[in-house]
Structure formats: C-alpha cells, structure tokens
Amino acid sequence: MVSVSKGDHVWIDQRTGTEFNVEIGARVVATQAGQIVLIDDNEQELHFPAQTKFRSMHISSIEGVDDMILLGDLKESAILHNLHIRYKEDIIYTYTGSILVAVNPYKSLDIYNIKYMRQYSNKKIGELQPHIFATGDNAYWSMQRYQHDQCIIISGESGSGKTESTKLILQFLAATSGQHSWIEQQILDANPILEAFGNAKTVRNDNSSRFGKYIDIHFDKRGAIEGAKIEQYLLEKSRIVSQARDERNYHVFYCMLAGMSKEEKQALDLTTASDYVYLNQLDGTIYCDSRDDAKEWATIKSACKVLMFSDEELNDILRLLSAVLNLGNLKFQATTTQNMDTCIVANRNVLRLVSKLLKLDENGLCDGFLKRTIFAHGEAVVTPLNQEQACDVRDAFVKGIYGKMFIWIVEKINSAIYKPQDRVAYRKSLGILDIFGFENFQRNSFEQLCINYANENLQQFFVHHIFKLEQEEYDNEHINWKHIAFEDNQRILDLIASKSLNIIALIDEESRFPKGTDRSLCDKLHAHHSKNENFIPRKTDNNINFGVRHFAGNVFYDCQNFLEKNRDTFSQDLMKLLQESQSKFLRNLFLNEFHIGTETRKRAPTLGTQFKKSLDSLMSILSACQPFFVRCIKPNEYKAADNFDRALVCRQLRYSGMMETISIRRKGYPIRHLFRDFVDRYRLLAPGIGPSHVEADCRAAADKICKNVLVNQDYQIGRTKVFLKDAQDVFLEQAREQVMARKILILQNSIRTWIARRQFVTLRQSVLLIQRYCKSYRDARRLQIITNGFTRLQTQFHTRMLTLRYSVLRSRILNLQRFCRGYLARQNYSRKLNAILVLQSEVRRHIAQKHMRRYRLQEKMYREAEQERYEEEKRLIPKLGAKRAKEEAERKYQERLKILQREMSEQERLEQQRRERERAEAKRLSMERKNNVDESDVFNNIFPSSGDERTTPVHRPTTVTTGGMQSTLGNMPQSKDNIERIDKPLPLPYQDEDLKEYTFAKFASTYFQGNATSYFTKKTLKQPLLAIKSERDQLYPQDESIRSLT
C-alpha cells in the first residue's frame, strides 16, 4: 500500500463479499481538502479520506497490452481491467499467447473489410494488433507450414459472438486462399441457410445457434479451398412447438412470411406470423429489431440457388414449413366416450389444409392424432387419446418432420460443397467449431443438459491440451518446469456421461422402461448421485429437478419431458401414414425409418446416446488436429453496446480458466520443434550447420542455433525437442525470413544476370539478322522509288504536253462557241420580241372586244329594264293613280336592277374561275413541254452507244427554254433571209460512215444545225473527241478535277 498523488493509477478494493467482485482500477484526479478524488474504470467519481492507502497499478496495466501474458500484475483484476479499457476504445480482441479473447461489442465495427483481410494476410500472431483474422491466418499458414490438420475452437456463453466469429473466419479463409472460386462462394452461402433453419432469437442473443456445427474445410496442395463438409449436432427441436417469453421460433418462419409475396402465400395457404400459435406464444416476440426478415428471405433464396437447391425442392421445403405452422393451429376438443377421456378435432378445415400440404389421407391423419395402436401379445389394440395426449402427438409429429428436414438440408449442402478425397490426392483440412454456448436459463431442460455437456467436453479438451498434455510433455522432456495448478472438470464429465450409472445412462435406462416417468428418473438420479460433490440435490421431494456444478457455474435442470425428448420418437400410426404420402420429398425424409421394425425402433439409440457418440467422434477429430482457441466473452446480459458488466465478465474468465491459461502461457513453452525439423528450418541462422541428415548431433546443432539467435532468452532444450515461447518463435521466423530474403536476392541476381546474358546474345544475333534484312529491304525500296520517280516524271511530261495541246484547242473551240451562241441568242431574242408584240396586240384586241360585248349586253339589259318600268307605270296608273303607280313601278325597277347586278356578278365570278382553270392548264402543259425537252437526245441519236448499230440522225423541232417561256421556233414569224441563212442544216454524215469514231468534224457537223440554240446540256462524253492513242490518257480527262475545267 502506498500514498498517492494526482495522476496516479491505483487499485480500489470494492469487494462486497460476492463471488465475482474484484478490485477495480482508478485514476487519482485530485488530492485536496483532506480527501482523495478518483475516477474508476466505470467513470464513476469516488471520494476517500486523505490517509487512505491504495495498491499501485503496474505500468503495463495503465495503457493496456495486446497480449495479457505481458501483464506485470498477474491477477484477475488486472486481466479484467485490461479487457475493460480496451473494450471502451472498441478494441475487442486481446491475446493470451496464441489464444484470442473476443469481447462481443454488440455493435458494428469497421474492422472486417477487405483492407483488414489483406493487412492480416500472412502475418504472425503479435506482428499486428489482435484480430480474429490473425487467428484464421495463423491456422491457415500452420497447416501449410507443418502439413498438419488444424482446427479453430470457438467457445463461450450464448450471446458471446461465436457464430459471428465463425462467419468472419470463413470469409477470411475464402479471401486469403486467393482463388475466389465457386466452391468458396457455396461455403459462404451455406451460413445463411443454416442460420435460417437452426438459429433463433433468445433472451441473450438475437441470433443464437440452436444447434452445433463443425465446418471442415479442405485445401489442396496449393492452399486453395477445394471443398468442405458440415457436421450438425443436436438441433433444439422443442423450440418449434414452444418458446420462452421474449424469444422467437427459428428465423426461417418469420423470414418466409415477411419476404414472400401475397400470391406466394396464397399458394401455400399462409397469412401473417401473428396468426400462428407456434410463432405467437406467451405474447411472443414476432419482430426482432436487429434483423430484417424480408431482406433475409431474399438472401436465403439466393443462397439456395448457389447451393444447387432445385425449384421443386424449395417448393417441397416451403410446403413442409407451411404444414408445420398450420399444425400448430390444429385444436382438439375434449370429449367423453364410454366413460373415457377422448377428444375430437375442433377445426377440421386446418386438418384438411395440412393433409393437402403433406399429401396425406385426411381421415388417416385425423386417426393418427386421436388414436394410438398398441401391440400386445401379437394383437393390435387401438386406444383413444385425450386432449393433452393428442397435443403431445401433434407436437412430436411436427418436431420429427422439422428435424428430418434440417438433417436433409445439411446433407444437401454437403452434396454441393463436399468432394470425396482421392487416394493419391493431397488434402489438408482446417476445421471451425461453432457450437452452442453454455446456457443457464430460468427453466433448463434436456437440451440445456446436452448443450452444457458439450461445453464441458470442449473445456476438458482445452484443459487437456493447454495444461495436461503440455505439462506431461515438459516432464517427459526433462526441462526445468514448475507445475501450475488448474481446475480440471473431468469429474463433471464422469458424472454426466463417463462413469457407470452416469446421468445420461440413467436417462437412457428410464427411457426404455414402458412405465418410466420423469419423476422416477429424478428419483433415480438422486439415489445414485446425491453424494457426488458436483451433483446438487433437489430441495424438496416434491420437485423433479436436480443441479450440476458445471465449470461455468451451477445449473438446475427440470426433469419434465426429459424422457420424451430423449426417446425422440412420434406415433407409429403416423409413421405408417407417412409411408403412404404422395409427397416423394416427405417419404425420402423418413426412408430409413420405414425399414425399422417396432421392436428394433424401441432398441434404437436414444437422442442422448446419439449425441454422446457424435460428441465423442468430434473430440477424436479435434484431438487429431492442431487447435487454435477463440474465447468469446459476453460483456452484459442485455445485448447493449458500451456496457461492461465486470461481475459477468469475471465469472466467464474465471470459469474458463483464463488465469491458469495466462500463467501457463507465460511460464510455459507453447512452441516446440523436433531437433531434426528445427535444424532443417533454422540452420540458415547459424553458420557451419548442414541439413539434419548430415549433422551427427542434431541436439547440439539446435542448441548452437538458439545460442546464436536467442541470446539470453528463456528457451529450453529437451530430450528430443526445442521448447520456445510464442515471441521467440516469431523472432526466429522473422530472422529466418531476413536471411532467406538476402539469399534469395543473391540467387535472384545471379539468375537474372544469366538470363540477361542469354537475352543479350539472342538479342544481338536477332539485331544483326534484322539489320541485314532491313538493309536489303531499304536498297530494294530505294531502287523502286527511283524507278517510280522516272516513270512519274515521264507521265508528268506527257501530261503537260497533252494538257497544253488540249488547252489551246479548247480555247479555240470556246471562242467559236461563244461567237456562235452569241449570234444565235441575238436571233432568238429578235424573233421572241416580234412574237411577243404580235401576241400582245392580239390578246389586247381580244380583251377589248370581250369587254365591248359585255358593255353592250349590260346596256341592252338596262334599256329593257327601263322599258319594263315605263310599261308597268302606264299599266298601274288606271288602278293606283299616277303618283303611286310611278312609285310602285320605281320599286319594282330597283328590284330588277338588283337581280340583274347579282346575275352579272355571278357571271363575272364564273368567268374568273374559268380563266384561272385555263391558266393552270396552260401552266401544266408548259411544264410538261419543258420537262419533255432534252437537248441531249440529238447528240444520242447522232452518236449511238451500241457498237453494231448504224443509225441516221433524226432531226426534230427543238423546244427552247428561256427564262420560263416556251415557244417552238417553227411557229415564230421570221424573215426569209434569216431562215435561209441560219436554219439551213449543215451536211450530215453519210449513212455508211462509222459514227463510233468520234471526230471533231463529225461532232461539229452534227451539233451546229439550224435548230441549235445558245443553250446546251452538260454531259460527259463516252469517249474523247480528239484522237488519243494511250488508253490511260483517254481516261485521264474524265477525272472530276479535269472535267471541272470544262
């Protein structure tokens, strides 16, 4: 005890006499006013008198350590404090040597992504901060290094995070193998399926494993995953029909009902979770805040596809799940028949639905629930069942169906991921054990006894491997060693299953007695084991319970339904009925049961015996492997983040033997090598040491290596092995890697030099050969260029000469054309002008005459109207008088004038329409005449394109188009002199003359005729007009760039 000052770290003794209250760490924040103020690990402020003495905290405990072996103060309080301060900083992993302690954070941490997987790949324990990936990586590389099977044992109480740790290790192994193959994806996708059908929400854990599984992953010689096999242990079938308060049934039911569409539910006659008794008991919890059931259903269906579940198999599974839920709603009504308690089915519609889903006979299913057939003296006796018995038969039937379906699902997954080993093929395995944690509920039944028995076996395996085998080997090797006392749970195993008349044996014995009851079983247990120190007897004879002092604490078990659960059977009448089911899937589930007779079935191993055998087999597998341990710790009972219950954690640490583990790991030598293996692996670290088969004394060689590398360090040389600590093994490996790296660099340099020299010689020969070919190609290319240059020069010269001749000739022809077209244009203009003047005069005369006739007609009509007015007035005078007769005649006169004006307006309108039609028709005819004219017809007629035909040119009147006006030259008035001088045709070619020869004389004599105008049609000639000898020169002028010049 010491006095303290501000800033010191001390231990406070707050033990109140309870079993798990230990010292708590604290920091001094003030020493004034006669008192000491401290802040403890729970962030609570404490006040003590100034004279109080405290035990000072070791410096290693102030900041915390990654490996608890390094704690200077080896006490429970120091271990608890180290875990607590790391937990507050979200550092949930801590080493105890090679053992990993994982505290469940109950929240998501960003330390499991691909970045961390790469970071921890191929790293030894201690190189980086503790992590679950480091344990998985060391197990993987130990398998590769020592060529020995490995296993990772994940243990802890329910809710401590074992299942999540298993998934993380699987993900890491799939990533670190580096193959990213389909089999790896299948192994990862097996987890969602198994969790859906085998995990459930409990009071302590929202995703509690209600079965145990051992995943054995197989690797080939390259370290790639080639397959896996899953073994399942003891599914908690009683959860299907009943759950405790605030707990749920298996996840698959809620996921199915939340994720299926309305149509899919209707096809299976499903509704909502609250409608089913098996999902809604004791105001049961239907929803789980930490799970998204609808999203999980999509994940389950996707995983089933990856694991090769067919659509038909998925549909069969869904039908059975629907049948299970509806069976829970099947009700029985108590009745009395012949003074006997019987019952009937209260809701026949549910029975009808279940029989349809299971494809069973409805009446047969009803009889199976309401009656029981007993064979006595070779005769079958049918007895009715009361309401309670019928419910028990129904529940047993449901548990039997679900249990068989779960086994089939595991086998289906194994058929996809497991590949039988070839006799010659190399295969090493790495197993991961995820088994139910230690359980202690308010009411513990047969399942909890089996679960806790499995945890006792795992604890014994841990004790045997860490303490017993290690200390026995130290003694056999005669090394300096002081024995460490440890808590051995072998006597508990003897009580439960090892010694004669153990608890499981007595349960089996009572299960085989026809008149055995749960009370008689409880009496037998107390009669045989009441004096056993690990057996806790019942307090009163009225109770049917007993207790066991497990390594993790005292647990009391309720014997009710022990025998029924141990027998694990249901009605033989229903078993026979299943043989007649139309569902092939349902029949296959019970195929092995159909061939077992009644008497044989009675002698079949009970559930307890089967579980014991499978557990013994598991222990044998684990014993053949090099184990790695992960201890999962539950920080509180409320699944709350950032809540560290010191008493709860202390209890878990104490019962798991963590104190003894740290002691033996600190003082012991967990790493050991045979001299031969040690020399072969580390001889590089000491000069002058050869391979083990060369060295005469491998012990001396191993000792020399240790003295050369592990100077003044604590290691031991035994009779046949070298014993090292974890840190020394890491140091040796690092030193070996450094030496190997240097030697590898030298070897690489030598090989690279030799390769570079060979590449240089080959490259030099290749360069010389390439140079020779290149020079030859260059000279040939140069000669070709010179030859082509001369050829192009000649071509350019000839082209220039021809172009010059062509240009001169073309200039002359254009001048001639210009003069000719000018003359023709002037003549054409004169004729058109005269014709237009004549036409205008005629049109104006015609219009004037037309207007005159119209005026005369109007005048005549006006006179006739005036005459009628006068006659009308004379006729009306005798009747009306002169004045009124004149007014009446004037009125009628005005009416006739209006009618006359309307008629004249109508005539003018009709006349206007007629003129418009005539103009449109004229315009149409003009366009037709214009479109039909093609001046090139003359040229084509004179120079036919066919080679054998000889034709005489045909001259037709030519329609000339000028600015939209059309006229025929023959109809225009012209003087006699002009006709004789211009329209006289030039001499045409003779009939027998070859028109295929295009000469300028022939073209000119044909083109310049009397009907030629100043307008022309641009058309490419088929052949040049000039005599050109070279075919190439004949085609040259037809190029677009040359034609554009014309």
Which tops the pLDDT comparison, 31 or 753?
A: 753
Closest to 4 measured CA to CA, from 39, 21, 23, 22: 39
Q: Which of 22-31, 48-57, 313-322, 603-612 has the highest mean pLDDT?
A: 313-322
* Res. 1009: pLDDT tops 60: no
In percent, the amount of the chain with pLDDT more than 70 equals: 85
Mean pLDDT across 163-180: 87
Mean pLDDT across 218-238: 90
Q: What's the pLDDT at 888?
A: 83
Closest to 321 measured CA to CA, from 276, 282, 352, 284: 276
pLDDT in tens, 497-518: 888 889 999 999 998 887 889 9
Confidence of residue 32 (pLDDT cuts 50, 70, 90): confident
Confidence of residue 1014 (pLDDT cuts 50, 70, 90): low
DSSP annotation of 692:
T
Closest to 404 measured CA to CA, from 590, 568, 253: 590
161 among the known binding-site residues?
A: yes
* Res. 366: pLDDT tops 80: yes
Q: What's the pLDDT at 991?
A: 46
Q: Please check whether residue 97 is in contact with residue 670, taking contact to mean a CB–CB distance below 8 angstroms.
A: yes
The label of the residue with tokens 């010059």 reads: 804
Output the DSSP codes for 262-330.
HHHHHHTT---GGG-GGGSSSS-----TT--HHHHHHHHHHHHHHTT--HHHHHHHHHHHHHHHHHHT-
Q: Within a 10 A sphere around the Cβ of 46, how many other Cβ atoms?
A: 15
* Res. 882: pLDDT tops 70: yes
Model pTM?
0.67
**N-to-C CA span, the chain:** 122
Rounded Cα distance between 562 and 443, Å, is 13
Per the prediction, the chain carries an average pLDDT of 84
Q: What's the pLDDT at 681?
A: 84
* Res. 600: pLDDT tops 80: no
Q: What's the pLDDT at 252?
A: 97
Q: Please check whether residue 80 is in contact with residue 658, taking contact to mean a CB–CB distance below 8 angstroms.
A: no
Residue 93, classed as helix, strand or coil, is strand
Contacts of 900 (CB under 8 A, 6+ apart): 861, 862, 865
Q: Which of 30-39, 474-483, 708-717 has the highest mean pLDDT?
A: 30-39
Q: Please check whether residue 210 is in contact with residue 450, taking contact to mean a CB–CB distance below 8 angstroms.
A: no
Whole-angstrom CA distances from 596 to 368, 572, 603 are: 19, 11, 10
Mean pLDDT across 823-836: 91
pLDDT in tens, 310-327: 999 999 999 999 999 999
Q: Which of 603-617, 642-656, 777-791 has the highest mean pLDDT?
A: 777-791
Rounded Cα distance between 169 and 188, Å, is 10
Least confident of 16-20, 124-128, 710-714, 842-846: 16-20
Q: What's the pLDDT at 950?
A: 40
Domain boundaries in the chain?
9-57, 452-615, 671-724, 727-932, 957-1043
The 3-class SS string of 612-673 reads: HHHHHHHHHHHHCCEEEEEEEECCCCCCCCCCCCHHHHHHHHHHCCHHHHHHHHHHCCCEEE
Least confident of 1-5, 123-127, 166-170: 1-5
CATH code given to domain 671-724: 3.30.70.1590
* Res. 583: pLDDT tops 70: yes
947 among the known binding-site residues?
A: no
Closest to 835 measured CA to CA, from 931, 929, 965: 965
* Res. 574: pLDDT tops 60: yes
pLDDT in tens, 275-303: 999 998 877 688 898 899 999 999 999 99
* Res. 198: pLDDT tops 90: yes
156 among the known binding-site residues?
A: yes
Extract the tokens encoding 717.
Answer: 């040389």
* Res. 842: pLDDT tops 80: yes
pLDDT in tens, 964-973: 333 333 444 4
Q: What's the pLDDT at 442?
A: 86
Whole-angstrom CA distances from 49 to 10, 27, 36, 54, 473 are: 15, 15, 6, 11, 53
Which tops the pLDDT comparison, 461 or 197?
A: 197
157 among the known binding-site residues?
A: yes
DSSP annotation of 495:
I
136 among the known binding-site residues?
A: no
477 among the known binding-site residues?
A: no
Which tops the pLDDT comparison, 344 or 73?
A: 344
Rounded Cα distance between 456 and 450, Å, is 10
Residue 772, classed as helix, strand or coil, is helix
What is the distance, to the nearest Å, from the Cα of residue 42 to the centroid of all Cα atoms in its chain? Answer: 43
Rounded Cα distance between 189 and 181, Å, is 13
Which tops the pLDDT comparison, 1002 or 980?
A: 1002
Residues 963-975: b if buried by 16+ CB within 10 A, e if exposed: eeeebebeeeebe
Least confident of 34-43, 393-402, 625-634: 34-43
Mean pLDDT across 13-41: 82
For domain 452-615, which CATH number applies: 1.10.274.10, 1.10.340.30, 1.20.58.530, 3.40.50.1970?
1.20.58.530
pLDDT in tens, 50-101: 888 888 888 888 888 998 888 888 788 899 999 999 999 999 999 988 889 9
* Res. 630: pLDDT tops 90: yes
Q: What's the pLDDT at 525?
A: 93
Q: What's the pLDDT at 972?
A: 40
158 among the known binding-site residues?
A: yes
487 among the known binding-site residues?
A: no
What residues are annotated to the active site?
158-159, 163, 205, 208-209, 437, 439
Rounded Cα distance between 110 and 944, Å, is 92
Residue 370, classed as helix, strand or coil, is helix
